[in-house]
Structure 1
Amino acid sequence: MTASPAASASVPTAPGGLPLIGHAHLLARTPLPFITSLRDHGSVVRIRLGPTPAYVVTDPVLTRTVLVTEAAHFAKGGKIFDVLRGVFGDGLATVADGETHLRNRRLMQPMFNRAHIATRGNAMIDQVGAMVGAWEDDQLRDVFADMNDVTLAAFLVALFGMDLPTDLQREFTVLMPVIMKETIRQTILPPWVTRLPLPANRAHRRHIARLRVLIDQAVDHHSGRSAGTSLAAPDPATAPDPDPAPADAAGCPHKAAAGDVQAGLFETLSAAGDQFTRRQLQDEAITLMNAAIETTATALAWTLYELTRHPEIEQRLRAELAAVCTGRSLRQEDLDRLPYARQVLQEAVRKYGPAWMVTRTATRDVDLGGHRIPRGADVVWSPYLLQNDPARFPEPSAFDPDRWPPDRVPTTRDSLFAFGDGRRKCIGENFAWTEMQIILATVLQTWPRLRLVSRPPRPQTAITVKPDKLAIAFGTS
C-alpha cells in the first residue's frame, strides 16, 4: 500500500470550503447531504475541519482496505475518539490499537458469544415486557426516549443480572441520556472549549464520576451475591416498597429459568480476576452501556417509524410472530424462527446508518486507491454514505426488507458497515441483533396498533443518525 509521492496522486478537495472554518459549516448545517455528496468527487475526497484536513473514503472496497486489509496503517483515532476516550476511558471501543486492545478483546469475547447471550434472552424479554406493558393505551409516546430507556434496562439486566437494585436501575436510566447529550456536545466543540472551567464542562465531569460510582455499586452488588453474601435489608417500616423485578412478577413465564442466570454477562469479565483493575472494569462497563444504548435505540426508533408508513410490512411481521408464538409470550428460542423481523431490522440499520462519521488516523504516509494520504491525517469513513449508495442499493431511500434474503447473512461486502469491520469490528453485534429482535417483537406482541402522531421525523446527526422528533401512539384496538 505504501507508495512514493510520485506514484500517487493528490486527493481532490470537496467544493464549498470557506477560509478558516473549511467545510465545518456544511457539516453543521447539512451533514448528511454533504457527506453523501462527496462520492460524486472521487473515491477519496479531502475536506477541511477548520484548518485541519481530513480524508473521506467514499468507496466500500477502499473502506474495507482501511478497516481490514491494511488496518495496521490506519489506527483508531481522530477527534471523535479523543473525546469519547475522555468519557469512556480506555474501554474496548476507545483503547489504542496494540497488545492491550487484543488482550482485552480476547478476555471479553466470551461475553458476546451467541450461546452465552442466549442464556440472558428470557431475562431481557421479561424486563422489556414489563416496561412496554406499562405504557398507557393510546398514549402519545416519545419513541426515541422510550427506546433509549428500554434498551438500557434490557442491557443492565443482561450485563449485571436480574437482581440489580431498583434504585441503581433508576439512576442509570436518568443519568445515561444526560451523559450521551453531553458527549455529543463535547465532540462538536473545539477541544480547548471543553477544557475550560465552564458550568457545562464541570457538570459533565460530575456526571461521569457519578456513573463510575454507580458501576462500582453494581459490581460490588454482583460480587456480594456471587459470594453468597447478602446486603443489609432496609427497615420495612421506613423503606418504600421496591418495584418487583420482572422475573418475580406473577405468572412470569420465565421465572423458573431466571434464577439460573442471576449474575449476568458481567460475571464473565469479572472472572478475569486480576487481569482487569477496578478502573478498567469501569471503563469497559461504561463503553458497553454507551455502545449498546444509542445505536440500538436509534435503529429501533426508525424501525417503528417505518412500520407506521408501511402497514404491509407491519402485518407481515405480526403474522410471522403469531405463527411462531401461537398465542403465548415470546421466548428466547423463538428468535431464530423470526427471519423477517431480522430483515426489517437490517433494512433500518442499512437506511439510517446508524453511525454517520467514523475516523481513523494514518500511521504513515500511505497510498489509498492511488491517492496520497500523509502520516497523522484523519481518515473518515461513513456507514451512512456507503449504505445509501444507489450504485449498491437501488432506490436507497426506499425501505425494503426484501433486500436481505433470509438465507444470506449481510456482510461488509454488501456495503453494510454499520458494525464496522476487521479487528475493531463491534464486539457486541450479536448482542445488538438479539436485543433489537426482543424489543421489536415484544412491542408488537403487546400493542396491536401503531399510529404516527407527529410529523415525519427528520434525520438528525449526533453520534448516530437519530429522529429529531418522533411520537407514536400504541393502542390495543
Structure 2
Amino acid sequence: MKSQTNSATSYSNDPHEHDSPAFQFSRMESLLRGHPLRDLTVDGVDAVFVKDPMLVRRILVSESKNYGKGELFRKARNLSRVGMLSEDETMHRHYRRLANPFLRSTKVDEYVPVMRGIVRDVVSSWRAGHAVDVQSEMCRISCAIAVSTLITGLPSETTEALSERLSRLAWEMIRKPLYGKSAARAGRPGASKRLAQARKDFRDLLAVCIAELLDSSGSSAGYLSALLSDSDEKGNRVLTADEVCEEAVMMLTAATVTTASVMSWALYVLSTEPLVEEKLLKDLTEKRNGSAVHDHGAPGYTLRFLMEILRLYPPVWISCRKTLSDVTLGDHSLPAGTNVVFSSYLLHRDPQRYPHPRRFDPDRWLSTHPGKVDASYIPFGIGSKGCIGEPFAWQELEVILDVVTQEWKLSTEPHSRVRTAPETTLHPRRLLMVPQPR
C-alpha cells in the first residue's frame, strides 16, 4: 500500500510563508521522517522519494549513468526536444559545451555594465508610494538581461521587442502548475491559452531574427550564432532553423524564470528582516567602493544572503529521474523504469544539516559549507545535469540586488499575506511591494 500525496499544505512554522494550496511539503516531511527512501504515489505517479542527501548525490553524480530524465523533465519538453533537453546524453553534453562560452565566469564579468543599465532603466520607472508587482518587474529585468547579453548584434528595437515578449512568456511559465487538479486543468486543450500565445509570440519573433541571420553572411548574434554555425564533420548544419529556435526558447526561458523567482523572494525577505537589510546594504556599499574585506576566504555577507535565499527558496524545488536499468540505491533494489523523486526544498531544510532550518540566517554559511560529498545544498543541481548558467545567475542576482536596494526601500502593503506557490518555480503567489526612495 503506497502513501499518497495530493494538493494542500501549510507553512505555519516558517515566518516567511503562509498556507498555500500547493504541494504538501509539511506532509511530505512527516511521511519521509526516518526514511531515506520511501515508496510514494506523487500526483498519481508511483515513485521512490529520496530524502538522504548522500543517495541523491549518487543519483546525480557518481551513478548518474544509471538514471535518465523522469516525468518532471518530460513536462518541460514542450519547450524543446533537442539540445540540452534531448534524451541523447551525447547531444546534451555537446550543447552544454556550445553554451558554455557565453556563460562562464570570465565572460559574465563583461556583462555587468549592461546588467546594471537594464536594472536602472526598469526601477527608474517606479513611483514612490505606488505598489509594483515585484515578480512581474523581476521578469522584465531578467528577460532584458538575458536577451541583451546572450543575443547580441540585433537592432535595439528588436532587442526590446524580444525582451518584452520573453517577459510575458516567463511570467506565464512561472505560474504553470505542476501538480494536482490545477495541473490537470492546465493540461487540457485550450486551457493554457495565455501561455501558448506568449510562447508563440516570442518564438515567432525569434524565428524572424534567425532567418535574418541566415540571410546575412558574417553577422553574429552571440548564442544564436553559435547554434546556427554548429556543423558536423562534413560541414553540414546540425540543427535546423526551427530546432535552433526551440533550443534558444528553452535556454532563455530557463535563464529567466528562476532568477525572477529568487529575486522576488530576496526583496520580500529584506522587507521583513531590517537587521539583515542593514548588513546587506553595508556590504554592497563596501563592495561597490572596493573596500570590502572578507576574512579567511569566508563568503561576504551579500553572497551569504543569496545562499540563504536559495537554501530556503530553491526555484527548482523538485526533480525526478528514472532508472535506466535495475539498480541498488541504499538498501533498496529498484527495477528499470522506476521514477526517483527528490526535493531540494526538503533537502535544504533538513535539521540534521541545518540547525533551526526555517530560520533565515545568512551567517550560518560562516560555519556551514555546501556539501561536496552529499546533495544537502543543490539550488543549481550538481553533476553533469547541474545548471550551466550558475556563474551567470550569481552575478546577475548580485547586480539586481545592488541596484534595486541603492534606489529603493521596498515594503509589502499593510495586512498583505505572501503565499508560497510551488509551480514551475517556487515563487510568491502574489507580491505587491511599495517602493520608497533611499
Common fold, TM-score beyond 0.5?
Answer: yes
The equivalences for 1:369-380 within 5 A come to 369-380=330-341
Provide the C-alpha distance between the structure 2 equivalents of 1:173 and 1:29, rounded to a whole number of angstroms: 24
The equivalences for 1:383-462 within 5 A come to 383-405=344-366, 413=374, 415-447=376-408, 449-454=409-414, 455-462=416-423
Aligned 8 A contact 1:362 1:376 in 2: yes
Secondary structure of the 1:276 match is: coil
1:206–1:458: structure 2 CA closer, same or farther, 3 Å change rule? closer
Q: Which residue identity lines up with residue 316 of structure 1 in the other structure?
A: K
Secondary structure of the 1:299 match is: helix
Provide the C-alpha distance between the structure 1 equivalents of 2:282 and 2:138, rounded to a whole number of angstroms: 23
Q: TM-score normalised to the size of structure 1?
A: 0.78
Aligned 8 A contact 1:343 1:406 in 2: no
Deviation at 1:306, TM superposition (A): 1.1
How big is each residue's C-alpha offset from its partner over 1:136-159, in whole Å with a ceiling of 9 and x where there is no partner?
Answer: 122211212221221111111112
Provide the C-alpha distance between the structure 2 equivalents of 1:176 and 1:170, rounded to a whole number of angstroms: 10
Which deviates the most, 163-172 or 68-77? 163-172
Q: Which among 117, 123, 136 is matched to residue 126 of structure 1?
A: 117
Provide the C-alpha distance between the structure 2 equivalents of 1:263 and 1:51, rounded to a whole number of angstroms: 44
Q: Does 1:299 align with 2:268?
A: no
Provide the C-alpha distance between the structure 2 equivalents of 1:26 and 1:186, rounded to a whole number of angstroms: 9
Q: Does 1:102 align with 2:93?
A: yes
Deviation at 1:170, TM superposition (A): 2.5
Partner of 1:167 in structure 2?
161
- Share of identical aligned residues, percent? 27
Provide the C-alpha distance between the structure 2 equivalents of 1:375 and 1:97, rounded to a whole number of angstroms: 18
How big is each residue's C-alpha offset from its partner over 1:387-416, in whole Å with a ceiling of 9 and x where there is no partner?
Answer: 011110111111111122399676574611
Secondary structure of the 1:87 match is: coil
How big is each residue's C-alpha offset from its partner over 1:424-469, in whole Å with a ceiling of 9 and x where there is no partner?
Answer: 111111111111111111101122x222225241211102221122
Aligned 8 A contact 1:84 1:183 in 2: no
Provide the C-alpha distance between the structure 2 equivalents of 1:432 and 1:412, rounded to a whole number of angstroms: 23
Provide the C-alpha distance between the structure 1 equivalents of 2:161 and 2:63, rounded to a whole number of angstroms: 47
Deviation at 1:351, TM superposition (A): 0.7
Secondary structure of the 1:120 match is: helix
Q: Which residue identity lines up with residue 172 of structure 1 in the other structure?
A: L
The equivalences for 1:30-109 within 5 A come to 30-49=23-42, 52-78=45-71, 80-92=72-84, 94-109=85-100
1:342–1:314: structure 2 CA closer, same or farther, 3 Å change rule? same
Provide the C-alpha distance between the structure 2 equivalents of 1:322 and 1:265, rounded to a whole number of angstroms: 33
Partner of 1:146 in structure 2?
137
1:47–1:365: structure 2 CA closer, same or farther, 3 Å change rule? same
Provide the C-alpha distance between the structure 2 equivalents of 1:272 and 1:73, rounded to a whole number of angstroms: 29
Secondary structure of the 1:399 match is: coil
Provide the C-alpha distance between the structure 1 equivalents of 2:434 and 2:298, rounded to a whole number of angstroms: 28
Deviation at 1:185, TM superposition (A): 8.1
Deviation at 1:209, TM superposition (A): 3.5
Secondary structure of the 1:64 match is: helix
Aligned length: 412
Partner of 2:18 in structure 1?
none
Secondary structure of the 1:361 match is: strand
1:190–1:307: structure 2 CA closer, same or farther, 3 Å change rule? closer
Partner of 2:204 in structure 1?
213
Q: Which residue identity lines up with residue 105 of structure 1 in the other structure?
A: R
Which deviates the most, 52-61 or 285-294? 285-294
Where structure 2 has 5 or more consecutive residues not aligned to the other structure, the ranges are: 10-20, 232-236, 291-296
Secondary structure of the 1:297 match is: helix
Q: TM-score normalised to the size of structure 2?
A: 0.84
Aligned 8 A contact 1:111 1:269 in 2: no
Partner of 1:469 in structure 2?
430
Q: Between Structure 1 and Structure 2, whose CA radius of gyration is higher?
A: 1
Q: Which residue identity lines up with residue 434 of structure 1 in the other structure?
A: Q
Q: Does 1:381 align with 2:342?
A: yes
Partner of 1:233 in structure 2?
none
Aligned 8 A contact 2:66 2:323 in 1: yes
Partner of 2:108 in structure 1?
117
Q: Does 1:321 align with 2:284?
A: yes
Partner of 2:147 in structure 1?
156
Deviation at 1:29, TM superposition (A): 4.9
Q: Which among 336, 346, 357 is matched to residue 307 of structure 2?
A: 346
Q: Does 1:24 align with 2:6?
A: yes
The equivalences for 1:184-199 within 5 A come to 184=178, 189-190=183-184, 194=187, 198-199=189-190
Aligned 8 A contact 1:180 1:290 in 2: no
Aligned 8 A contact 1:148 1:297 in 2: yes
Q: CA RMSD in A?
A: 3.1
Provide the C-alpha distance between the structure 2 equivalents of 1:213 and 1:186, rounded to a whole number of angstroms: 32
Aligned 8 A contact 1:358 1:381 in 2: yes
Q: Does 1:176 align with 2:180?
A: no
Secondary structure of the 1:200 match is: coil
Aligned 8 A contact 1:73 1:362 in 2: yes
Deviation at 1:39, TM superposition (A): 2.9
Where structure 1 has 5 or more consecutive residues not aligned to the other structure, the ranges are: 1-11, 18-22, 229-261, 328-335
1:324–1:206: structure 2 CA closer, same or farther, 3 Å change rule? closer
Which deviates the most, 60-69 or 38-47? 38-47
